[in-house]
Amino acid sequence: MSKPLIVVESPTKVRTLKKYLGNQYALAATVGHIKDLPKKKLGIEIDDGFKPNYLTIPEKKSTVAQLRKAAGDAPDVFIASDPDREGEAIAWHTAEILKKKGRRFHRILFNAFTETDIKRALSKPLELNANKYEAQKTRRIVDRLVGYQISPLLWRKVQRGLSAGRVQSVAVRIICERERAIQAFEPQEYWSITAQLAGDAPPPFAAKLARKQGKKIAIGNQSEAQAILDALAGQPFVLKKIARRTVRRQPQPPFITSKLQQEAIHKLKFTARKTMQIAQQLYEGIDLGPGEPEGLITYMRTDSTRIAGEAARQALDFINKQFGPDYAESKPRFFKNRNKAQDAHEAIRPTDVNHTPEALAPFLTKDQLALYKLIWRRFVASQMRPAQIDNKTLTIRAAQFDFTASGSTVRFAGFMVLYMSVDEASERATEESKAQLPEIAEGQALNLLELLPKQHFTQPPPRFSEASLVKELEENGIGRPSTYAAILSTIRNKGYVEMVNKSFRPTELGFIVTQLLVGSFPDLIGVDFTAGMETDLDRIESAQVDAQEILSRFYGRFQQDLDAAGQQMITMKGVGLKTDLQCPDCKTGHLHIKVGRNGPFLACGNYPDCRYTSNYERNEKGAVVALRAQEEALATDENCEKCGLPMQVKSGPHGTFLGCSGYPECKHTRSLQSNGNGREVGVACPRPDCEGQIVARSSKRGKIFYGCNQYPKCDFASWDKPVDVACPLCGAPYLVEKQTKKKGRFHACANRECGYQSEPLAD
């Protein structure tokens, strides 16, 4: 009889299990999902209770065969896929393909890949969780219905290749709405007045004007500021009050997934995707010696701040030994969870506190060590005593005005000796930047050294960075932390947003698609609906509601909106979005934003009677500004065959072409399609194994691109001109040259996830 089989998700986990279990069990890996909905059709039987038609993924047929071979005639199969909804779906699909008369299936959940956790899970196997699987199926069904029924609509109305998603479209909408807020922002002037003061004892210090006659004061302009300065002229400054307060600052709980992503983005400059990839490696097992893999952290996809009592006590023992009893809590500190449905496993923590970052440094890569150090320090700090901060605030009276000055000192550093979050570090830096306050008594007269008025302007809301967008999604209950990395990648890859100075900015395509979707599906891509769906999934998992009820309620409204959108959504290939701009050619039609093969452009609404077209951009207020092709033209060293004037590279709605600079008197044009190998641009091919040169070529539609002259031996190609300079930010082997109307020419990293951009280049 075959040995019992344990099925996990990855080959790395197989190696880790083999270390602890030896040859007691047969081991096999699914390498992720083995079943999914079909790629080329909806795969949902809507009229049959939304039944999903799961099929074996074609690329996984050999994996399925290996699983069946590994199972043999084993009577028991233990399925140890990840302890989340996706892992539960893998467990059910594995049981389906290995189903056999008399065979028993068991579910085992590893919160960490350590010997203790593994043997504990095997000693108390569970049943497969039907409710958790129903929650995953419901999520998959809703996402498939949205994606596979709205995306074809966008193909017809806008352009092929676009996609919509229950979560990704909301994320793009959030970015677009922030950009609109920035564009609509009108800065407001305000002033501050600071008094430079000195007492009998040093040091001198600064105090800011705060109140007039006991009420908070706002200074709107220079004349108001000058009136206050005049009122203060010759007035004595007296210390009215000293307020002292000691603040206890508590440590943060151990990481949940979203908080780990945010801290890694800020502190380590990782992307959300990179953070999750490295965390996965630390979870599945790292070799701490030849053939000795060990899981170093607990499961990295979690919304829970719960920690095991055993782990907390181990941390307290470590703190007592390394920092002393003054730094250790008297008993373990536990943290409350906001959502009980997502409390299936612990917060992210080290599996063994005694595996210090210093001890593991020889076995980890630079990035693995950096992330492990973040996780280890945050967890250990969570069991340390609070910091104690002494705050002192001085209130100084002059005439009818009150000035205030604040300072702080650390009485006891507590957990801050080991770890401070980005927010805590920023707050502490602000406190430390304040001037040290002298020891003076209430009622003491102060010497006025100088009164400093200063003009300020309010600032627009900032664009979202990866970290702040993850925080926004989390706070609004949109998606799950385990999906954030994929969402951020998708919205960039689809061309809906771009990274500018490490912040998200919507592209014109992102604006257009969002406007169309909001008009046709206002509820579906609203924050409330998306967050409500996540809550419903939690309720399905905890058996509080039936999945059919959720699906029926969702689809009834969605089908109505979908039918209406098919008839009423504006066609960007035809009518387009009307602007306030009048056509400069016919003077009667308005310009409409349309989308062609090469992206958005402006066209006259009187087409075909008027054939005016133009590229366009948006100014800082978001208004559309037309750019005639001749204004965008780039000079060449070629002359027109008809009139002899220089030819120019011009852009139109159907791509790039050569046109005479004498237009409209001479209307001669020529395609940029190359018949040879193209023109060299003086850059070696970036491929490390290629000795070719980059040449400028033209696509069949006349658009210039850059490719290797060794094609087809080397298939390197880029729409942007490569530059033989490595990226100073991420180390990518080359940069590319870009040009925009607003910034001019600049270099950018070829790795889209990096986001590096140089300063504008001199022409």
Catalytic residues: 299
Contact 182, 504 (CB under 8 A): no
C-alpha to C-alpha distance for 124 and 106, rounded to whole angstroms: 10
**How many CB atoms lie under 10 A from the CB of residue 549?**
12
C-alpha to C-alpha distance for 61 and 220, rounded to whole angstroms: 71
- Between the alpha carbon of residue 75 and those of residues 54, 135, 192, 694, the distances in Å are 26, 29, 78, 61
Q: Where are the alpha helices (DSSP H) in 158-188?
A: 168-184
Greatest alpha-carbon pair distance for the chain in Å reads 100
C-alpha to C-alpha distance for 193 and 212, rounded to whole angstroms: 12
Q: Which pair of structure tokens corresponds to residue 303? A: 């919304």
Contact 269, 315 (CB under 8 A): no
The residue among 672, 701, 700, 510 whose CA lies nearest residue 595 is 510
Phi, psi of 347 (to 5 degrees): -65, 170
- Cβ-proximal residues to 144 (8 Å cutoff; 6+ apart), any chain: 37, 42, 43, 44, 52
Q: What is the dihedral angle through the alpha carbons of 686, 689, 690, 691, rounded to the nearest 10 degrees?
A: 100
Q: Which helix (H) or strand (E) holds 17?
A: helix 11-21
Residue written as tokens 């344990």? 6
What is the amino acid identity at position 222? Q
C-alpha to C-alpha distance for 62 and 166, rounded to whole angstroms: 33
**How many CB atoms lie under 10 A from the CB of residue 271?**
20
C-alpha to C-alpha distance for 67 and 64, rounded to whole angstroms: 5
Contact 239, 437 (CB under 8 A): no
